């Protein structure tokens, strides 16, 4: 029964969307109905919380990678590129600040 619950939660609902409160509520309900002991319920909560955290982290990495890919395809200037251009413009505007080496 516990394995079935784990599989349903991990595949059907999406463990990344589960909050600790919802997981604890589910475990308590199952314990109250006699489907598992309190110890099994706590173990289930711990395991599902770990799986939930891992799934969130994996999802975040995937989203960040996709965003980076999209930004690269858009060929946008990065902040460092803009900073370098600003510095170059300032240098061209004020050649005397570069030094007297060119005179």
Asked, for residue 15, whether it belongs to a domain, the answer is yes
Q: How confident is the model over 9-21, as pLDDT tens digits?
A: 555 445 556 677 7
Average pLDDT, the chain: 76
pLDDT of residue 81: 93
Is residue 15 a contact partner of residue 58, using CB atoms and an 8 Å limit? no
Residue 88 lies in a domain: yes
Give domain status of residue 36, yes or no: yes
Report how far Cα 8 is from the mean position of its chain's Cα atoms.
Answer: 23
Q: Is residue 103 part of a domain?
A: no
The reply to whether 80 falls in a domain is: yes
Q: pTM higher than 0.75, yes or no?
A: no
**Structural domain harbouring 65:** 2-97
Give residue-wise pLDDT tens across range 43-85.
877 887 787 778 778 878 888 888 888 888 888 888 999 999 9
Q: How many domains does the chain have?
A: 1
């Amino acid at each position: 029964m516990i394995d079935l619950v784990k599989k349903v939660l991990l595949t059907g609902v999406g463990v990344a969307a589960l909050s600790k409160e919802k997981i604890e509520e589910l475990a308590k309900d199952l314990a109250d109905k006699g489907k598992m002991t309190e110890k099994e319920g706590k173990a289930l909560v711990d395991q599902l919380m770990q799986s939930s955290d891992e799934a969130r982290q994996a999802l975040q990495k995937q989203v960040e990678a996709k965003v980076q890919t999209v930004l690269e395809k858009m060929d946008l200037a990065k902040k460092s590129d803009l900073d370098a251009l600003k510095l170059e413009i300032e240098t061209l505007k004020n050649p005397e600040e570069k030094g007297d080496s060119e005179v």
